[in-house]
Amino acid sequence: MTANMDTIEIKAFLPAQDFDLSKRFYLDLGFTEAWGSDEMAYLHAGRSSFLLTRFYEKPFAENLMMSLLVVDVEAWWQHVVAQDLGARYGVRVNPPEDRPWGMRDFTIDDPSGVLWRIGQSIDQPA
């Protein structure tokens, strides 16, 4: 790859049916707003980020999946439980499980139906 083909990052633009509700959800989940307007918010947790947009198409939102690789999935899970995000936002939350693809993760839907897998890598038997 030539030097001018290097990349810096990639960001997804996530839909929000109710922009203000979704932004509160992500802040409660553990993201920080680095920049925002009435139409878009740049949210990040550590080096991971995305853009939340006021745009919403139900089939798109309900078929979108995000994966967040974290250092300690149990810490994130305990935060979700302590914040009672499932009940507070009326979203589906499933507890951590070891997956056959070498991840321990849990799933949580955002208020618009975007599915998140939040997990960490686990050692696989040889």
Per-residue pLDDT tens digits of the chain, which is 126 residues long: 566 888 888 899 999 999 999 999 999 999 999 999 999 999 999 999 999 999 999 999 999 999 999 999 999 999 999 999 999 999 999 999 999 999 999 999 999 999 999 999 997 554
Q: What is the residue extent of each domain of the chain?
A: 9-121
- Quick one: how far is CA 38 from the chain centroid? 21
SS3 33: strand
Is domain 9-121 given the CATH code 3.40.50.970 in the classification?
A: no
Tokens of 56: 């919403």
**DSSP-derived pairing of the beta strands 65-69 and 115-121:** parallel
d(CA 107, CA 44): 18
Tokens of 52: 């939340």
